């Protein structure tokens, strides 16, 4: 990934969508600044920037539910990251496997 193409928002952050590498299941979304992205790309573990705590947090350091990096991609506009991981344990802070287990919005399903 060419990190010089990353476009950060006005707070210096970029959204990072976290996806299970083998099943392609979307697990969660977090925020990264340039340093969190550097740490993620160079350590093999996902690091985020916590907007509420104003500090870095490496997924799983306190919970044991770690994310091992398997791939990283930048979208075509350069403003969203896709981080492919091997999720060990729950991805969501609620203990759910994915942060997208909670609420189904019941959309009308389009037909092709």
Instruction: Report d(CA 109, CA 98) in Å as an integer.
Output: 22
Using DSSP's 3-state secondary structure scheme, residue 95 falls into: coil
22 is in an annotated binding site: no
99 is in an annotated binding site: yes
Instruction: Report d(CA 105, CA 42) in Å as an integer.
Output: 37
User: Please, are residues 61 and 89 in contact by the beta-carbon 8 Å criterion?
Assistant: no
- Tell me, what's the pLDDT at 7? 97
101 is in an annotated binding site: no
Instruction: Report d(CA 3, CA 20) in Å as an integer.
Output: 22
Q: What mean pLDDT, rounded, does the chain reach?
A: 94
Please identify which residue in the block is written with the tokens 């609420």. 103
Q: What is the pLDDT of residues 56-86, one digit of tens each?
A: 999 889 899 999 999 999 999 999 999 999 9
- Taking residue 22's Cβ as centre, other Cβ atoms within 10 Å add up to 9
Fold of 2-88: Ubiquitin-like (UB roll) (3.10.20)
Using DSSP's 3-state secondary structure scheme, residue 89 falls into: coil
Please identify which residue in the block is written with the tokens 């920037």. 49
Work out the pLDDT band at 1, boundaries 50, 70, 90: low
75 is in an annotated binding site: yes
76 is in an annotated binding site: yes
For 2, residues 6+ apart whose C-beta sits below 8 A from its C-beta are 74
- Tell me, what's the pLDDT at 86? 98
């Amino acid at each position: 990934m060419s990190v010089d193409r990353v476009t950060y928002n006005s707070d210096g952050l970029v959204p990072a969508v976290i996806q299970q590498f083998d099943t392609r299941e979307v697990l969660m979304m977090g925020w990264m600044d340039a340093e969190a992205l550097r740490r993620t790309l160079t350590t093999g573990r996902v690091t985020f920037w916590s907007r509420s705590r104003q500090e870095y947090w490496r997924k799983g350091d306190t919970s044991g539910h770690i994310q091992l990096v398997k791939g990283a991609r930048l979208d075509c506009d350069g403003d969203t990251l896709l981080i492919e991981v091997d999720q060990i344990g729950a991805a969501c802070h609620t203990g759910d496997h994915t942060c997208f287990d909670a609420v189904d919005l019941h959309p009308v399903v389009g037909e092709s």
